[in-house]
Structure 1
Amino acid sequence: MAKDLIVIKGSRDGLKFYFNTQEGSFEEIYQTLVHKFQEAKGFFEQAKYIIDEKNDLKEEERKKIEALFILHGMTRQEINHKKTENSRAAAGIDTNEETEVFQAARDAVLIARSLRSGQKIYVQGDAVIRGDVNPGAQVSATGNIIIFGACRGSAHAGVQGDISAFVMACKLRPTQIAIADKISRAPEASSPKDEQVYPEIAFISDQQIVVEPYISSKHKAANA
């Protein structure tokens, strides 16, 4: 199976680029990067970039890649690793390398895939998942979490204490749901007749997490 020559992950510091120099030549990597910029149509403009150090790029090859970044309006981000780790730890977020970290450029980060068991996502901002959050997967966000699929894993909105945050899913059946410092579980469907067929929203009301149908939610009306 073909390997990805370039992997891009968002973080609170910027967009981190991983170059697979073990399985692709520099020319292949460079042309793949050119193609990504052409497909993005301005998406990377004004973004900050970080090049992962685990590669075999020569100095002149790195400079050529950085020139391409600059050509498309990007700037290099210098990282204070200690500050980054401390801020995530203060929010109660597991800082191991298995957690993908995303920084919202404007209002939200779109994750256009499902999360499988063991995957962890942390978003600085609102998280929009275009897929399912499966059992064993975790998604955390400083803002809201919106899932266009089923939520059967763990979801934690407002991780830095935002009590106005919410979690919404087309099928809300998480193993655990948390908003700010409140933790709860969604009720299990007791029979096929009770199986959820409409979006639901979870939010804090009267110091506890409330789950309601999104279409008739008081929270929706209050925040419209």
Structure 2
Amino acid sequence: MKAQKQYYVTIKGTKDGLTLYLDDSCSFKDLERELDILLSKRQYVQEDSPLIGVILKVGNRYLTEQQEERIKTLIRKKRNLFVQSIESNVMTKEEAKRWKQETEIVSIAKIVRSGQVIKINGDLLLIGDVNPGGTVIATGNIFVMGSLKGNAHAGFEGNREAVIAASIMAPLQLRISNVLSRPQEEKHHQHVSGSMECAYIDDDAIVIERLQQLSHLRPNLTRFEGE
């Protein structure tokens, strides 16, 4: 009985273009060869058709920059095709390190005094106070288990979904992403004794609410919650 041929490339058409699923266990040479043959078929390449975007899904295969360029070049030669994106389950050490820094929670126990600045990647959990003139900055969220009487800047690389929470919310200045607020200038804002509060962006302005509202405001913020 003749063995069935193993196919290394699966092509699916979508309303936005083509999605190519590339086998992650074969050699790169075999992958290139089959990709070239498949994309040479007339149903994928037509001289008068508009440009078609191609999404490559490479699974658990890591492509070097040179291999990526070879595949892109091969696809570009097929007249009306271009690579829109390459999606892989594998990341480099540098990418993994950057992802870890951006998503981890950094815990610090100290009082941030006037003139001091704490700046971290990821979420900041500060166990202590931020005194007037002190500043805390994070790419993610900021949680202060104490008094926030200085400056806080969450999402400083552009994350508008970031929040700032504190046991006592009485800051000189709050900033989330590029939105700035000076709560001491806001009318009638007073901290409710015994109630933690959180600040977030709503309609291009920073709003302060009781912390209990956070689960409704940011339902994806579940990092602290166990299964």
TM-score by length of 1: 0.49
- Which gives a bigger RCO, structure 1 or 2 (Cα 8 Å, sep 6+)? 1
Q: TM-score, normalised by structure 2?
A: 0.48
